[in-house]
Amino acid sequence: MLTYIARRIIIGAFTLLAVTSLVYCLIRNMPGTPLTQMTENPNAKQIMSEKQQKELMAQYHLDKPWIVGYGYWLAGVAQGDLGRGINPGDRDRVTRIIGRRLPNTLKLTLTSFFLTYLLCIPMGLYSTARNATPTERTMAITLYILYALPTFVAALYMNLLFGVKLGWMPITGMTSEDYYQLSTLGKLGDTLHHAILPIICLTYGSLAYYTRFIKANMLETVQQDYIRTALAKGVSPRKALVVHAFRNALIPLVTLIGLTLPTLLAGSVILESIYQWDGIGHLFIEKVTQRDYPVIMGLVLMFSVMTLLGQLVADVLYAVVDPRITYS
Partner 1 sequence: MSDVQETVESTVETKAKPSKSLGFWATSWRYYRRRFFAMAGLIYVIFLGLVAIFSPMIVGTKPIICYYKGSIYFPAMGYYNPSWENAIFTTGDHFENRYEPNLQKNDPNSWAIWPLILQDPVERVGDDWFEGRTANPTDIAGGPSWKNWFGTNSVGVDVFAQLVHGTRIALLVGFVSMAIASAIGIFIGAVSGYYGGWMDFILSRIIEVVLCVPTLVLVIALLATVVSPSIWQVVFVIGLTSWTGIARLTRAEFMKIKQIEYVSAARAMGASPYRIMFVHILRNALAPILVPISFGIAAAIFTESALSFLGIGANSETPTWGDLLKQGQDHILSMWWLSFFPGLAIFTTVLAYNLIGEGIQEATDPRTRDA
Residue 19 within binding range of partner 1, rule CB under 8 A: yes
Residue 6 within binding range of partner 1, rule CB under 8 A: no
Residue 67 within binding range of partner 1, rule CB under 8 A: no
Residue 18 within binding range of partner 1, rule CB under 8 A: yes
For residue 269, the minimal CB distance to partner 1 (Å) is: 5
Name the residue nearer to partner 1 (CB basis): 113 or 284: 284
Alpha helices in the chain (DSSP H): 2-28, 34-40, 50-59, 66-78, 94-129, 134-148, 151-158, 184-221, 225-233, 237-239, 246-266, 269-274, 280-290, 293-321
Report the alpha-carbon distance of residue 91 to residue 85 in Å, rounded.
5
Nearest to 148 by CA among 209, 215, 211, 214: 209
Nearest to 299 by CA among 24, 107, 2, 6: 24
10 Å CB burial of residue 80 (0-12, 13-18, 19+) is: exposed
Report the alpha-carbon distance of residue 139 to residue 145 in Å, rounded.
10
Residue 212 sits at φ, ψ, to 5 deg, of: -65, -40
User: Which region, judged by CB under 8 A, interacts with partner 1, from 16-24, 39-47, 69-77, 320-328?
Assistant: 16-24
Name the residue nearer to partner 1 (CB basis): 90 or 292: 292
Residue 148 within binding range of partner 1, rule CB under 8 A: yes
User: Which region, judged by CB under 8 A, interacts with partner 1, from 54-62, 77-85, 86-94, 285-293?
Assistant: 285-293
Figure out which of the listed residues 288, 313, 317, 321 binds partner 1, where binding follows CB under 8 A. 288
Which residues lie near partner 1 (CB under 8 A)?
A: 11, 14-16, 18-19, 22-23, 26-27, 29-31, 144-145, 147-150, 152-153, 156-157, 159-160, 163-165, 171, 262-263, 266, 269-270, 273-274, 284-285, 288-289, 296, 299-300, 303-304, 307-308
